[in-house]
Amino acid sequence: MQFARINDATIHYQLIGAPPDRPVIVFINSLGTDFRIWRDVVVRLAGDYAVVLYDKRGHGLSDVGQLPSSIEDHATDLAGLLDLLSVKNAVICGLSVGGLIAQSLTQRRPDLVGALILCDTAHKIGTAESWNARIAAVEDKGIGSIVDAVMERWFTPAFRRPENTAYSGYCNMLTRQPVEGYVAACEAIRDADLTEAAKSIAVPAICIVGDQDGSTPPDLVLSAARLIPGARYEVIRDCAHIPCVEQPEALTAILRAFLTSISPGESSP
């Protein structure tokens, strides 16, 4: 395991190397998960690309850090990690809140971003009312009280079969996140509006969504893609909010096609 002190938090990360002429892909996980959600995509890309994975603050093995924390704080954390690893001009792949962090990073540190892959995310996610209700439920009764509702948005009914042991595992992943970190991330998402930042993105970008996503539905993701100049848009069939878990082969195929079509430049550490 690899750890680094970034700003006010200890951040858990993993660097997987590749030949020096290969781009770096940086994966940012979603709310209530850690970087293990990317495993089935990473194993299909390792060797062809260098990979950076990390647990954002308040998730996985990373510190919660000072509270409150904003999407800009998360972007500053990622910038600090990439500076530590001497990575520039990387392909940033963010899922859900990870996509908000990716957009903020692009706005704040364009030297670090060569291309954007925005999975099941948008320029603004949810309403203040919906996030406040979730925060109140978690603070009152814990993360376990919202598991069923969250899983209906994360995964299709086919994945949520009782006999699917992976489904139980992802329920465990959600409930074992630090409550403080989860609530802080909910507040950060609630307060984030990247509409203007999305309009100014000047790197190759693709927006990807599962056709059954209950958290960031296809119409919302399409609206984000239309804000970003020249952005591409792809829908993954039979998939909800977390394609790297539910449809890793389809997601990897889209990533490879996109990466093949662009030239983000040499960026391996």
Q: Check which CATH number belongs to the domain holding 119 and give it.
A: 3.40.50.1820
Residue 14 has pLDDT above 90, yes or no: yes
Task: Establish if 266 belongs to a structural domain.
Answer: no
CA distance 40 to 22: 20
Position 1: which residue type? M
Residue 266 has pLDDT above 50, yes or no: no
Work out how many domains the chain is built from and give that number.
1
Task: Establish if 178 belongs to a structural domain.
Answer: yes
Give the tens place of pLDDT for each residue, 198-230.
Answer: 999 999 999 999 999 999 999 999 999 999 999
Mean pLDDT of 242-257: 98
Q: Using 50, 70 and 90 to split pLDDT, how confident is the model at 5?
A: very high
Task: Establish if 96 belongs to a structural domain.
Answer: yes
CA distance 80 to 117: 20
Task: Establish if 188 belongs to a structural domain.
Answer: yes
Task: Establish if 269 belongs to a structural domain.
Answer: no
Give the tens place of pLDDT for each residue, 69-119.
Answer: 999 999 999 999 999 999 999 999 999 999 999 999 999 999 999 999 999
Q: Using 50, 70 and 90 to split pLDDT, how confident is the model at 231?
A: very high
Task: Establish if 267 belongs to a structural domain.
Answer: no
Cβ-in-10-Å burial (0-12, 13-18, 19+) of 110 comes to: middle
Task: Establish if 132 belongs to a structural domain.
Answer: yes
Strands in 2-6's sheet, in edge-to-edge order, are: 2-6, 9-16, 50-54, 24-28, 90-95, 113-119, 205-210, 232-236
Domain that residue 174 falls in: 2-261
Note the pLDDT of residue 254. Answer: 98
Task: Establish if 119 belongs to a structural domain.
Answer: yes
With CA atoms as reference, report the closest residue to 258 among 19, 56, 41.
41
